[in-house]
């Protein structure tokens, strides 16, 4: 018996460029940059003072009863917004006869945010700003007061899954993974596997994350992973550029509705695209460094193509490479961009130079666990609209990076099949292949 075909029937996102498919896509096509000074907390003394924040987002517009989610953290709020868009595009809201036990959730969601630092500075008498300390007894008292049962629960990474399940009455399989920057790509791939095994008919999948808080920004600064172009932050994220100096933190959510094709057609849903393949590997190398020959990323790409039954060295019946667009992980760090380029060349051989490849992180920053979900949606919109999103700020070509990175301006192109790459700290590599539904 052949495996069931898996299609995407709904998509939604909340990003630094906007909160709906049409607005964000339009801004991508214009190369809009979503970077700004951090204003969620005082980052004036940090080595990096800017990021790509989600602004003017009101999650209460996306839920039936806002009081049911009154203590939701930002990551959960973003997920609820993206999930509502995907749910409605998939026309699941009118599907009253759906068996909710056959609908599941698999997210790649990061931990929630505890803003105790801001609370402490505001509410603890005797805070010593210069020494960044306070009397231990006062600190403990304030921490006990701050850490309500709701705060304790909402910091858990599985809370977005729980809130979405509650909002829609979903009672099927419910999972969350947190594999760093590869999390939502892995979640979608594993959700596809669940559908193929017959364990569900519909899966809500993707990712959500924010690390735009004191500890998050401090941590990535300590890793020296962030760009420090504080005086030119609109051009700070420069994937594949010779002068790239690190990524820019973003936040948001990207969620899709996945279904078996038979289930989607039986209820009259419109497939947006078909997921063909998924690959996942580990580098088994240093925690914050990629293996220098890019074997892990290359093997993840190969595995996704193999599951999709695509020969990377072949041509299609129109003489094109078998993949016509690659959504790059493309963080703008020296190591990632070089090794992703190497992985693509290793897998696709002579075809590599004929495949356009771009990174949207120059426009909306790195959404960490949510990045892969947003980038898969970008692939679907690329197929539907026949336009490739640009890699902005690519002004100084790196002579060692010699592929087609769709520099600076969107480009018209006929695209039927896309590859989406995600690589995470710790050596987690994941890839998805998505194709036009026919």
Instruction: Identify whether 177 is a catalytic site residue.
Output: no
CA 1 to chain centre: 34
Report the distance separating Cα 224 and Cα 222, nearest Å. Answer: 5
Provide CB contacts within 8 A for 145, sequence distance 6+.
123
| 269 token code pair | 């849903």
Q: Which of 177, 181, 379, 418 does the annotation list as catalytic?
A: 181
Q: Which of 177, 366, 379, 418 does the annotation list as catalytic?
A: 366
Strands (E), 306-427: 325-327, 357-358, 387-388, 411-412, 417-424
Instruction: Identify whether 329 is a catalytic site residue.
Output: yes
**Burial (CB count <10 Å: 0-12, 13-18, 19+), residue 268:** exposed
Contact 8, 270 (CB under 8 A): no
Provide CB contacts within 8 A for 105, sequence distance 6+.
161, 164, 165, 170, 172, 173, 174, 175, 203, 204, 205
Report the distance separating Cα 161 and Cα 118, nearest Å. Answer: 27
Q: Which of 163, 213, 263, 329 does the annotation list as catalytic?
A: 329
Instruction: Identify whether 181 is a catalytic site residue.
Output: yes
Residues 290, 293, 297: CA angle, nearest 5 degrees: 60
Provide CB contacts within 8 A for 375, sequence distance 6+.
185, 254, 327, 360, 420, 422
Contact 176, 107 (CB under 8 A): yes
Known catalytic residues are 181, 329, 366
């Amino acid at each position: 018996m052949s495996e069931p075909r898996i299609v995407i029937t709904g998509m939604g996102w909340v990003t630094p460029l906007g909160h709906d498919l049409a607005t964000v896509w339009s801004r991508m096509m214009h190369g809009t940059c979503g970077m700004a000074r951090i204003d969620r907390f005082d980052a004036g003394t940090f080595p990096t003072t800017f990021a790509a924040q989600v602004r003017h987002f009101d999650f209460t517009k996306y839920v039936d009863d806002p009081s049911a989610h009154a203590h939701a953290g930002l990551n959960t709020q973003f997920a609820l917004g993206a999930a509502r868009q995907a749910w409605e595009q998939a026309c699941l809201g009118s599907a009253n006869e759906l068996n909710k036990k056959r609908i599941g959730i698999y997210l790649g969601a990061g931990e929630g945010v505890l803003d105790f630092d801001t609370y402490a500075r505001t509410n603890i008498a005797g805070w010593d700003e210069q020494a960044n300390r306070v009397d231990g007894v006062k600190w403990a008292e304030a921490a006990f007061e701050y850490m309500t049962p709701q705060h304790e629960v909402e910091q858990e990474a599985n809370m977005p899954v729980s809130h979405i399940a509650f909002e829609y009455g979903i009672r099927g399989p419910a999972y969350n993974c947190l594999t760093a920057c590869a999390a939502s790509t892995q979640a979608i791939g594993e959700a596809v596997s669940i559908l193929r095994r017959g364990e569900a008919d519909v899966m809500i999948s993707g990712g959500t994350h924010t690390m735009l808080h004191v500890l998050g920004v401090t941590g990535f600064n300590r890793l020296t992973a962030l760009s420090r172009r504080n005086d030119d932050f609109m051009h700070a994220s420069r994937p594949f550029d010779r002068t790239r100096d690190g990524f820019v933190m973003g936040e948001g959510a990207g969620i899709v509705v996945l279904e078996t094709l038979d289930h989607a057609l039986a209820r009259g849903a419109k497939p947006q695209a078909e997921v063909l393949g998924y690959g996942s590997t580990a580098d088994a190398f240093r925690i914050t460094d990629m293996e220098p020959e890019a074997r892990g990323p290359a093997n993840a790409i190969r595995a996704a193509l193999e599951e999709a039954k695509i020969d990377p060295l072949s041509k299609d019946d129109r003489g094109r490479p078998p993949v016509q667009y690659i959504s790059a992980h493309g963080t703008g760090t020296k190591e990632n961009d070089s090794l992703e380029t190497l992985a693509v060349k290793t897998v696709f051989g002579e075809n590599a130079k004929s495949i356009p490849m771009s990174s949207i992180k120059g426009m909306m920053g790195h959404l960490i666990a949510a990045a892969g979900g947003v980038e898969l949606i970008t692939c679907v919109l690329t197929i539907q609209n026949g336009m490739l999103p640009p890699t902005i700020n690519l002004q100084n070509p790196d002579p060692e990076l010699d592929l087609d990175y769709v520099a600076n301006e969107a480009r018209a192109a006929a695209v039927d099949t896309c590859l989406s790459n995600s690589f995470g700290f710790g050596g987690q590599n994941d890839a998805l292949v998505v194709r036009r539904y026919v």
